[in-house]
Amino acid sequence: MSHTAELIAVGTELLLGNIANTNAQALSQSLSALGINVFWHTVVGDNPERLKEALGIARKRADILITTGGLGPTYDDLTKQTICAAFGKPLVLHPDILEDIRDFYESALHVPMPENNTQQAELPEGCVVFDNPVGTAPGCAFEAEGVHVLMLPGPPHEMETMLRRHVEPYLRRLSHEVIVSYDIMTFGMGESSIDQLLHDKMAHMTNPTLATYAKPCEVRLRATAKAATEDEARAMLAPVWEMVRETLGDIVYSGDGGDLADCCHGQLIRRGMTLATAESCTGGLVARRLTAIPGISGVYRGGVVSYWTSVKADVLHVPQDILDTYGPVSEQCARAMAEGVRRLTGADLGVSVTGVAGPDPDERGVPVGIAYIGLAAPEGTFCRPLDFGWRRRDRIQGLAANHAFDVVRRYLQGLPVERI
């Protein structure tokens, strides 16, 4: 039997935008892996009437309702009371849970338990109790009128602990299918162009399915299959991966969801080569993304952020005549920066980024969006000229960084480097 879930997050702070609903993301990912369809996310403020209305809608279209938040001790924590009233379930005090909460306050916090915490030990009659080892509010689950209702605390570290310890085992017993998804990563073509190439195939797919998602500065395709076992689902996805690679060619760089920096890391290891970076307009973004990868020190020598022209000359030894004649934002400078950082660090490869991220043109009148990626390699030096047009500063920086990674991965894979 296929199950459908609705997630209901309770908390006025979510509606005000004070905090992000990260619980919904974690729950959706978990339920997807369990083969449970999540078709709706609902957010309700700390208001019993509106929560009651949301429950009335949800129970008509989903057979699993999961709520987060509203299980605390304060006057506005009314999730349990509202749900129990909606499903005709009386609340029952659990003395053992009350004692655990009292011990938590006295042993961990070294203060007496405020008496309003007693309501946290009141749970629906006949429910399955989910203990909370990292907080005071227990969760619970019950079934009524063919609907499974699960109530979880709102703080993300408490919710995620309860999800792993209790919710996943509870739901696993309900589902007889698994859902497996692959993220196929591409760079070098826009979402609309990719959709045009794949549209006819995607439109006729039901299981597995394929959909495009535009990420900042690149496009992800998500291939999803549902089957009785994980091995069966993965077998169904293999032809999808081959079809996408055959259709899109070398703009596909990953089938495991890793980004371009991860791809470069893997390729550098395979080739036994090292890399260094020289950055101007990206201000260290390339280096930051590389150094976020565990184990990158095995292949990444280091980098220079040469924001000032004098640093390009004094540290990277970009010849002064190049800076005077062509300027710091030029193909000639990008090549010299890449060669300079390669010499400076002794790396096998040096990659450079120089450009104008805006919001204004540079002192020589080079317009916003112009950038150059240099790559110094044992065989010679390459350059990819770019014109992003006028965009937000952070978007230009992100695109330039991705192009730097793309130049490196294409070189390492034996693909054309200077143009996509």
Query: Quick one: three-class SS letters along 285-346?
Result: HHHHHHHCCCCHHHCEEEEEECCCHHHHHHCCCCCHHHHHHCCCCCHHHHHHHHHHHHHHHC
Residue among 213, 223, 220, 219 at smallest CA distance from 190: 219
**What are φ and ψ of residue 186, in 5° steps?**
-130, 155
Cis preceding-peptide flag for 359 (omega within 30 of 0): yes
Which neighbouring-strand residues pair with 10? Answer: 44
Determine the Cα–Cα distance for residues 209 and 226; give it in Å rounded to an integer. 9
User: Which residues 6+ apart lie within 8 Å of 298 measured at CB?
Assistant: 269
Is residue 35 pLDDT above 90, yes or no? no
* Confidence class for position 289, pLDDT limits 50, 70, 90: very high
Determine the Cα–Cα distance for residues 373 and 353; give it in Å rounded to an integer. 5
Tokens of 349: 């490869």
Amino acid 158 reads: E
Domains by residue range for the chain, with CATH: 4-172 (3.40.980.10), 178-254 (3.30.70.2860), 260-412 (3.90.950.20)
**What are φ and ψ of residue 90, in 5° steps?**
-75, 150
3-state SS assignment for residue 330: coil
User: Which alpha helices (H) appear in 65-173, and where do they start and end?
Assistant: 79-87, 95-103, 156-162, 168-172
3-state SS assignment for residue 340: helix
Q: Residue 110 has what pLDDT?
A: 86
In the predicted model, what is the mean pLDDT of the chain? 94
Tokens of 305: 């952020």
Q: Per residue in 59-78, pLDDT tens?
A: 999 999 999 998 888 777 78
Q: Which residues of 214-248 are buried (b: 16+ CB within 10 A; e: fewer)?
A: eeebbbbbebbbbbeeeeebeebbeebbeebeeeb
Amino acid 2 reads: S
User: Which residues 6+ apart lie within 8 Å of 81 measured at CB?
Assistant: 48, 91
Q: Per residue in 192-237, pLDDT tens?
A: 999 999 999 999 999 999 999 887 778 999 999 989 888 999 999 9
- Percent with pLDDT over 70 in the chain: 99
Which neighbouring-strand residues pair with 178? Answer: 227
Q: Per residue in 379-405, pLDDT tens?
A: 999 999 999 999 999 999 999 999 999
β-strand 91-93 against 122-124: which pairing, if any?
antiparallel
What dihedral angle (degrees, nearest 10) is formed by the CA atoms of 77, 78, 79, 84? 150
Determine the Cα–Cα distance for residues 107 and 99; give it in Å rounded to an integer. 12
Is residue 17 pLDDT above 80, yes or no? yes
Note whether 183 and 257 are within 8 A (CB).
yes
137-141, 211-215, 294-298, 317-321: segment of lowest average pLDDT: 211-215
Q: Per residue in 248-273, pLDDT tens?
A: 999 999 988 789 999 999 999 999 99
Is residue 304 pLDDT above 90, yes or no? yes
Is residue 55 pLDDT above 90, yes or no? yes
Is residue 2 pLDDT above 80, yes or no? no
Q: Per residue in 102-150, pLDDT tens?
A: 888 888 788 999 888 888 899 999 999 999 988 888 999 999 999 999 9
Residue linked to tokens 């596909």 = 252
Determine the Cα–Cα distance for residues 184 and 257; give it in Å rounded to an integer. 6
Question: What average pLDDT does range 282-300 have in this prediction?
Answer: 98
* Confidence class for position 279, pLDDT limits 50, 70, 90: very high
Cis preceding-peptide flag for 208 (omega within 30 of 0): yes
* Confidence class for position 310, pLDDT limits 50, 70, 90: very high
- 291: alpha, beta or left, given left = phi > 0 and alpha = psi -120 to 50? alpha
Q: Residue 371 has what pLDDT?
A: 98
* Confidence class for position 1, pLDDT limits 50, 70, 90: low
**What are φ and ψ of residue 52, in 5° steps?**
-60, -40
Question: What average pLDDT does range 180-194 have in this prediction?
Answer: 92
Q: Is the pTM above the cut of 0.85?
A: no
Tokens of 117: 């915490």
